[in-house]
Amino acid sequence: MKSPEEIRKLKQQPGKDMHVVGVATLVSSLMNLGLIDELSLLVNPTALFKDVKERHALKLVGAKPLKSGKVSLTYNTQPRTT
C-alpha cells in the first residue's frame, strides 16, 4: 500500500477516481486520515444469520434511507428448494 502522503498527492492530481477494495481495518485507516470521499457498501444479508438451518432465497423488495444515515432493507424470504 502506498503511504498516506502518496495517496494524498494522487488525490490532488486530475484524472479518474481511485477505488479501494478492502476490509474494515484498511477503510478505517484511510477514513481516519481523511482520504475517503465516498463509500459504497455491499450488504450480504445471509451472513447476518448464522443459525438458520436451511438456505433461503432473499429478494430485496425495498430500501429506505433513514435520517440517521442508516438504511432499512426489506426482503421477501422463502426456503430454497434444491
- Alpha-carbon distance 33 to 43, whole Å? 25
* pLDDT at residue 81, as a whole number: 65
Residue type, 47: A
**Can you give the pLDDT at residue 72?**
94
Which amino acid is present at 20?
V
Contact, 54 vs 44, CB < 8 A? no
Mind listing the pLDDT tens digit of every residue in the chain (82 residues)? 678 888 888 888 888 888 888 788 888 888 998 888 888 888 877 766 778 777 778 889 999 999 999 999 999 987 666 5
* pLDDT of 64: 95
Query: Cell 494524498 maps to which residue?
Result: 8
Mode of pairing for the β-strands spanning 71-79 and 56-65? antiparallel
Please give the Cα distance from 10 to 82 (Å, whole number): 49
- Dist. CA 43–CA 49, nearest whole Å: 13
pLDDT, residue 26, reads: 85
